[in-house]
Amino acid sequence: MLGRLLGRGPWLWRRVARPVLHPTRAASDKVKGTQDAALQTANPDYKAFKIDRRPTNFDKKVLIWSGRFKKEEDIPKHISSEVLDVARNSVRIKICYIMIALTLLGCLAMVITGKEAAKKDHTLLRMNIEKKAKWRAEVEKDEEAAIEKPQ
């Protein structure tokens, strides 16, 4: 209904409806925009969301394993969090591929060993029958021992 009143132009939403419905958000957007513009004009190397941090030893291993850097000496003292996030994501994907491959190999190994066991007639059904026969024999021995003791 508000869309019908305002029309279909997105510029109308930005100029009229958004400041009315979200006055603090609209004001803060203007303030952030002017601050970022001022910082960029003062310092051309400034990026609004660039956060430099020192990589830990684990971060260095992740950066090397992801292929971002060749050696640990090549890693600078400070890296942006974006670079580290990209490296972590690529390592996460590599680990997932390894887990998929190991799962498929495990399934293949289970199929092969199951077929070999079926050929040797070493199935769960046979093992259960043998186990129950063993239990019955033990129960019969216990009953015979109980009968012979009172005499």
Kindly give the confidence (pLDDT) of every residue in the chain, 151 residues in length, as a single tens digit, with 9 standing for 90 and above. 555 555 555 555 566 655 555 555 544 555 555 555 554 555 555 555 566 888 899 999 999 999 888 888 888 888 888 889 999 999 999 999 999 999 999 999 999 999 998 888 888 888 899 999 999 999 999 888 888 876 5
Based on the domain organization, do 61 and 89 belong to the same domain? yes
Would you state the structure tokens that stand for residue 45, as one six-digit string? Answer: 């190397």
- Could you give the CA distance from residue 65 to residue 88 in angstroms, rounded to a whole number? 9
Nearest by Cα to 72 from 81, 61, 82: 61
Based on the domain organization, do 55 and 116 belong to the same domain? yes
How many independent structural domains does the chain possess?
3
Based on the domain organization, do 8 and 59 belong to the same domain? no
Contact 32, 25 (CB under 8 A): no
Based on the domain organization, do 58 and 115 belong to the same domain? yes
So what's the pLDDT on residue 39? 46
Nearest by Cα to 91 from 73, 74, 67, 70: 67
Based on the domain organization, do 41 and 76 belong to the same domain? no
Based on the domain organization, do 115 and 136 belong to the same domain? no
Based on the domain organization, do 56 and 105 belong to the same domain? yes
List of residues 6+ apart from 83 with CB closer than 8 A: 63, 68
Based on the domain organization, do 134 and 109 belong to the same domain? no
Based on the domain organization, do 112 and 67 belong to the same domain? yes
Range of the domain at 32: 1-48
Enumerate the β-bridge partners of residue 53: 79
Q: Phi and psi of 34, rounded to 5°?
A: -70, -35
Residue 14 gets which letter from DSSP? I
Based on the domain organization, do 116 and 57 belong to the same domain? yes
